[in-house]
Structure 1
């Protein structure tokens, strides 16, 4: 072995050589502390994850503005809960769905809004599959996609689904953009462990093949382990303190860079050391040769890579700019460890000859390559460029894909949900585009509905768009009965409905005509009877007048007879006064009734007393006869009035019958005219109805119009709440 030694043993390499053991102990202690006292960087990354969506991207701005206008959410995080059944979803599935909706509404910390379409029969068809075996509900979650809060919201939804068992034959899946992002982060974490293990195995195999020394391999792995552990731990500490934001994607890149850079720098140092030893230098001189030979290379390489990683901060996408600080910091830690702990381990190992080369290094082949490159630079450059161009040919068939599902395992929950849902829905159904339209006025009026429908119609006609849902077509097709021809035909519906009543009333007119004819016949008979009555009354009045005259004569004769009777009564009274003593004899004698002559005289005197009673009775009869004659006079006068009125009544029957006959003829004319008019109106309405039914059945999106009264319809108001903002100044279309 040569006795050549390195004369320079001061400065940083000398200090490291003198303090090798403390440096190793410090690095080991530091690495252990930052990994044991602080959560692992994967957990810190999950706790401090930033959104994967660039906040200045138009789509993100539009999504958040829509959430603000509709007062639904403040994030861009959307999840879908899909229900899939072995058979068409029934009442049990609806009850399970409603239970989930109630729990989602109650979890205001993680769920900002629930788009409950399936809970209303009016809008259920919009989120139900055509076979009836699947339905979904869209949730706006708290926190942006990929952020810590967004991931916690996804976990909360999955917890609700896990804690709420579905009915037999029904399965529930949580999928959509936000769960897919969360699953991709978790898959990245799981892949990180596999990547690290596989990488270390590959590195071990490669080192063993190159150095063919277990001690050399183990020492290099120890250096790499300390560098990687220190880098990961330092980043975890900074992230845990909230001084740096990073995504879960920062962890695998940072780890890979730490392993790669740490391995390279260790190989640089040990390779240079072994080269110096083969050149005859002693271990100490070889150490200094190695440090001075690769120290500046390690520093320059590490800082270059760290600076390159820092430039990622200038990018807009969070996928990239969140990689900058963690990766740059990790590279700085790796460089610091490569320039301190790696030389320190080299010093300790060199003292025991653990890193001495086991065989001579073969450099002849590499010298030939270098000689050829120097001698024929242009041909070598051309050949190398040709190889590069051959590789670039693969770019011709390259197509950019934005489908994140292709880059994560099929067995993650979000992909399982997508696969189950796509058996019943199209892929775009669970990942729709949403267009928001804003106005400076309330658009809940017929005019703006026409404008919104024209926009939806124009979108639908773009190639590649399968369906557009909006307030004018909530189920993807135009609202039933919303075409102008149909509404015109609907204007004839009241006429059609009234035609039946009109037919019945026209039939009543015919009945009235018949009844009028019967009344005319009755009035004609009545007229004939009245004529007879008038003649009879006239005869009766003449007879009554004669009877009254006779009565007057009878009263006059009775008055004469009454005067004669009164005179006879007075004379008899005078006679009675003269013979009263003689008369008393006949009343005083108790035996008078036994003496015929006495009793006869007494009876004669009694008869004379009866003349006085007869005179009184005649006076009463005279009074009664006078009253009867007066009554007969009044009756005759009344009968005379009837006799006068009866001809007048008979005279009125003629005009009445004539008028009634004219009315009957008029009714018959009206009946005939309206019967023909009804027939014509029915023919007109039949044509309009057929036109309206044809346009409605065709579901044509031409001639769209909603009348003002539709906006008061409770069912339509439900649609307004779903597709228009509360103030009516914003509308959304689901594409």
Structure 2
């Protein structure tokens, strides 16, 4: 062996020599490392629960929209939405209401897991939006802590669910905590609970298969113990890195890590055991067999481990948390399995092999002969093999053209899970997707809490409602999902009609009173006329009285004058009587006194009468003046009465004309109300006084931000919101928003749309972008690694291209099974994870085959076809067993009840079987045989490196034959014609 060859294998020989010489030390080191790490480091599941991150990137538009909405409404920035659902077998009454209020109070008091609670049941204006039409169900939105899918969110869902399920509900009532946040949390929890079962079952399957292959209790233990040690070290290593946030971990990545480490490390053990047994059958001693096996298989193990780890690391560039978290943890796990297979596995095989406990069960490998026979057929007739295998792969790949990615997270969980039973309860009483609304946020520069703002909000709501598939919009203008009857202009017109009709009825009564008043007025006018006539007569009598008084006063004046003259004439007699003190006793005096006294009395009486007549004259004059004024007033009164009679007649005439007009107007307005009732049309206007209504004020607090400059709208629609319907609806809502706010009060406003349809649309875009990125980066890395290992661009392209073909075929078979037969679309992470796994692992199998072919051609001087035959004989059974073991390992993931895990396992498992049984077994060697020497063509630098590496002292055999030296494999001659 020359210096170049020694240098080429020195690294692997050194590793093998160290592990063989210090086997016990290596084993003890790994065992102690596994034990200590598991004792000192938390388990990966607990780390994933505590450090798991959100579903979408923090800067995703839907997350930014959620935070903006939280800033405006101050009800929490989390997107972890859940719903408290109460369902009764009877209409919910006061007992159920009290129980619901008790739960809501508990939720609001929980500051550790609950951000906010939106309870619309107490408000009559909004209650109809959350209570079913049959009254048997009600729901309340609860915003929990954490980001959708992260550890805090999962823990919050579990804690709150325990809280709401612990109290005993009223008889006949079921309580559920469901919704999107609970859906994602239950997915993660289901994977967590089933991971141990899947890992255990996978281990049992691998052990059973290895026992059937090796027919020995000891030989299968070699790769199984290696797998166990690798997994025992990889799990705490990943947990340690995750606990310090060096890498991102999740429950899903922990499950996938276990499956990949089990499959890959088992394959590495099978590869090494296969070459070790081959050497033993060729007559090599244990030490030599192990040395050759290490030298030839270790590069394959290293290349395989680096290929798979590098490909998995590409997932770290993904935007979606589920994909991103699966990358580096699985890469670390596979890398750990590779290191264990390069050190622990040879050390263990050294100890077991030295005691002859790992020898092959037969000295003649009948399987190798069968595989050489297959290789001979392929080498002789590559064309037909190419055609047949190509057609088979084409048939497998055709269904991939109809592939539909599924985004329905509800379908990934069994129907009997708590969260799905909650959705089923909602579907029994509400229209679909009631728990999956789209939420619109409109930010304006001014306060929207006025009639003009409400009109603008209603215009937006109406525009959204016009989108096909939308069945309800809740907003400030329609808190319960429909426009309030009192807010419709046509309804208000109907109210006006009712008021007009009532007023018209009152007017009819007033018109009857006017008729009576008109009759009374005529009677009064007649009385006034009669009074005026009497007054005229009275004025004439007063004039006559005045004349008589004048005559009487003249006569009295004369009488008074005569009496006064007489009194003056008898003054001497009066003096006489006055001078006699005892005039009454004096006969003469008393006689004179009888003459004087009557005269004096007559004078006094005539004076009084004169004064009385003067008074009578004054009174008669006043009466004459009063009667003259009264007569004038009566004349004026009669004129006014005449005008009033005319006015009453006019009023009666006009009223007669107005009444038909009022009746027509009332009939029109009422007809307008009836025609538009329930149509959602009819105009919108809520007067200013409505803002003082306490019910509307409570509703406005739900839909308006505290400063009134932002409002939110909830949109509900039919179809699958977890899918293309939701994504398309989100785009339609955005278009409707732009159309409704081009002018008017909301022109220039900031429009934000979020929700589950929006999230699915963004997730779809991220998945497509991530797949494109992962495909480019991972395929480039795998191609470079294969190119470096094979040093032939043509061979690298063949290996690389055939792996891509096997991937497309696997996707086609998986599409046929899941989409066409089972009726479930392939869940969105399947294609990306399957791409990474199949390209990386599938390349390993093809790489092992082609490297053995190159070894036979370059080292042993065989022709290409002979190299193919010998490579088949040496690796056919080994790679087949490895592929079947790895495939069944992945297929074991189907025993779980989470659809995404089942589909990932099925797709990768089917792809590995296709790659093992068709691509590696027929397509790759047929292409190599068909290409001939071009298969190994390489540019000059590669060719020089190849000659330098493989320039040997191997003796060339006659054309068409070659012999493998003792340390190279089976010492036999194969003839190829």
Show the counterpart of 2:715. Answer: 734
**Is residue 28 of structure 1 aligned with residue 7 of structure 2?**
no
From 520, 523, 527, the counterpart of 2:528: 523
User: Which one of the candidate residues 380, 385, 391 is aligned to 1:386?
Assistant: 391
- Distance in 1, Cα, partners of 2:81 & 2:22: 57
> Is residue 563–residue 603 contact of structure 2 (8 Å, CA) maintained in 1?
no
**Structure 1 stretch displaced more, 330-339 or 71-80:** 71-80
What SS does the corresponding residue of 1:319 show, helix, strand or coil? helix
Corresponding residue number in structure 1 for 2:404: 399
More displaced stretch, 366-375 vs 637-646: 637-646
Secondary structure of 1:353 counterpart: coil
Kept after mapping to 2: 8 A contact 1:228/1:259 = yes
Aligned equivalent of 1:158:
161
Residue of 687, 693, 712 corresponding to 2:691: 712
CA deviation after TM superposition for structure 1 residue 464, in Å:
3.3
Alignment check: 8 A CA contact 1:82 1:417 kept: yes
Alpha carbons 2:31, 2:229 under 8 Å: kept: yes
Which residue of structure 2 lines up, in the alignment, with residue 498 of structure 1?
A: 503
After superposition, residues 284-299 of structure 1 pair within 5 angstroms as: 284-299=287-302
Residue 573 of structure 1: how far off its partner (Å):
8.3
Shift of 1:277: 2.1
Say if 2:498 and 2:666, in contact at 8 Å, map to a contact too: no
* CA distance in 1: counterparts of 2:702 and 2:470, whole angstroms: 21
What does 1:530-545 align with in structure 2 at a 5 Å threshold? Answer: 530-545=535-550
CA offsets 1:49-97 (integer angstroms, 9 cap, x no match): 0111233444333333333343333222211111111111122222222
Q: 1:421 aligns with which of 405, 423, 426?
A: 426
The 3-state SS of whatever aligns with 1:123 is helix
What residue is the counterpart of 2:519 in the other structure? 514
| C-alpha separation in 1, matches of 2:150 and 2:263 | 29
The Cα shift of 1:173 comes to 0.6
User: Cα–Cα, structure 1 residues 245 and 605, in superposed 2: closer, same or farther, change >3 Å?
Assistant: closer
Match of 2:772 in 1: none
Of 604-613 and 492-501, the range deviating more from structure 2: 604-613
User: What's the CA shift for 1:393?
Assistant: 2.9
How big is the shift at 1:234?
1.2
CA offsets 1:318-341 (integer angstroms, 9 cap, x no match): 111111111111112111211222
1:160-201 deviation digits (Å, cap 9, x = unpaired): 302443222222210011001000000001121111111011
Partner of residue 57 from structure 2, selected from 44, 47, 54: 54
Specify whether residues 549 and 440 from structure 1 end up closer, same or farther in structure 2 by C-alpha distance, changes over 3 A only: closer
Q: Distance in 2 between matches of 1:553 and 1:445?
A: 97
Give ranges in structure 1 of 5+ residues lacking alignment. Answer: 1-5, 578-601
- Corresponding residue to 1:118 among 121, 135, 151: 121
1:565-576 correspondence runs (5 A): 566-568=571-573, 570=575
CA distance in 1, matches of 2:306, 2:701: 57
- Structure 1 residue corresponding to 2:702, chosen from 703, 712, 722: 722
* Secondary structure at 1:641 match in 2: helix
**What is aligned with 1:645?**
625
Worse overlay, 273-282 or 310-319: 273-282
Which 10-residue stretch deviates more, 29-38 or 190-199?
Answer: 29-38
Q: Which runs of 5+ in 2 are unaligned?
A: 1-5, 717-977
Three-state SS of the structure 2 residue aligned to 1:140 is strand
- Tell me, yes or no, if structure 1 residue 607 matches structure 2 residue 612: no
SS at match of 1:468: strand
Aligned to 2:814: none
Q: Is the 8 A contact 1:460 1:466 kept in 2?
A: yes
Distance (Å, rounded) in 2 between the aligned partners of 1:657 and 1:433: 78
Q: Does 1:343 align with 2:338?
A: no
Structural mapping, 1:312-391, within 5 Å = 312-360=315-363, 361-362=365-366, 363-391=368-396
Distance of 1:223 and 1:496 partners within structure 2: 94
After TM superposition, list the pairs within 5 Å mapping 1:612-627 onto structure 2: 621=601, 624-625=604-605, 627=607
- The answer to whether the 8 Å contact 2:566/2:599 transfers is no
TM-score by length of structure 2 reads 0.67
Say if 1:490 and 1:692, in contact at 8 Å, map to a contact too: no
Residue 138 of structure 1: CA displacement?
A: 1.4
Shift of the alpha carbon at 1:124?
1.0
2:609 to 620, 629, 632: 629
Deviations 1:598-646 (A, max 9, x none): xxxx999543564687689669746743651343132232243046336
Distance in 2 of aligned mates of 1:65 and 1:237: 35
- In structure 2, distance between residues paired with 1:256 and 1:280: 36
Aligned equivalents of 1:393 and 1:39: distance in 2? 46
Distance 1:43-1:690 versus aligned 2 partners, 3 A rule? same
> Of residues 650, 662, 665 in structure 2, which corresponds to 1:670?
650
Tell me which residue corresponds to 2:209.
Answer: 206
Structure 2 residue matching 1:214: 3-state secondary structure: coil
Provide the aligned length of Structure 1 versus Structure 2.
704
Which has the higher relative contact order, 1 or 2, with Cα contacts under 8 A spaced 6 or more apart? 2
1:215 and 1:696, CA in 2 relative to 1: closer, same or farther beyond 3 A? same
Deviation, 1:649, is 4.8
